[in-house]
Amino acid sequence: MSDNLAYQEERREELIGGNVVMMSPASAEHVYTAGSIYNIFKNYLKGKNCIPFSDGLLVHLTDENKFVPDMMVVCDRSKIKSDGVHGAPDLVVEVLSPSTAKDDRTRKKEVYEACGVPEYWLVSPTDKSIEVYLLESGKYILHDVYTVRPDWVLKQMTDEERAAIVTEFKCHLYDDLIIRLDDIFGDLF
């Protein structure tokens, strides 16, 4: 790596339970997946009140918990400040990687739940899956898991079984926003 300051990478960190946690550089699959999800929401929300944010913006949830989600949607614009989002976003998406999956599934999920984030997605580029959690009575309930089936699995299925596979779903924040798995994972290498 160059000693030239213009070429040095920015150190990225989160505050989880009062502890500073360094964020690992993202893989190509991670960046592609997060970007695909952001683009879906950016196109859908153009001209609407809610704003999608891609990876890089800090969300201030509590004094001990300040996260950098891979994607989030914020509808209450008063929460948006120059240094990040202050308060619960309306949707948070975390793209899983080996170094972050445990925190995304446990500590961060618990904080998002306690702070009232209505919809939380855990996305696996490796499994090509999306777990959708919805906040009900203050607790996250796994609503569904949407998965792209590998070709070898599809070949073993009957026509009826293939026809029954769910390849798209609605975002719960918007009745008319259809999320197509192929739009997220279709070109993933």
Q: How far apart are CA 17 and CA 23, in angstroms?
A: 15
Q: How far apart are CA 144 and CA 122, in angstroms?
A: 11
Determine the pLDDT at residue 1.
37
- C-alpha radius of gyration, the chain, whole number: 17
The answer to whether residue 5 sits within a structural domain is no
Determine the pLDDT at residue 6.
46
Q: What is the percent of the chain with per-residue pLDDT over 90, rounded to a whole number? A: 65
Amino acid at 123: V
The answer to whether residue 1 sits within a structural domain is no
The answer to whether residue 38 sits within a structural domain is yes
185 vs 20, more confident: 185
Model confidence over 87-123: pLDDT tens digits?
999 999 999 988 788 888 999 999 999 999 999 999 9
The total number of structural domains in the chain stands at 1
The answer to whether residue 6 sits within a structural domain is no
Model confidence over 50-88: pLDDT tens digits?
999 998 899 999 999 999 999 999 999 999 999 999 999
The answer to whether residue 85 sits within a structural domain is yes
The answer to whether residue 119 sits within a structural domain is yes
Asked whether the predicted pLDDT for residue 42 surpasses 60, the reply is: yes
**Which residues form the domain of 39?**
11-185
For range 8-36, the mean pLDDT: 73
Determine the pLDDT at residue 7.
41
The answer to whether residue 15 sits within a structural domain is yes
Asked whether the predicted pLDDT for residue 8 surpasses 90, the reply is: no
End-to-end CA separation in angstroms for the chain: 27
Q: Where residue 179 sits, what CATH number does that domain have?
A: 3.90.1570.10
The answer to whether residue 164 sits within a structural domain is yes
Determine the pLDDT at residue 13.
72
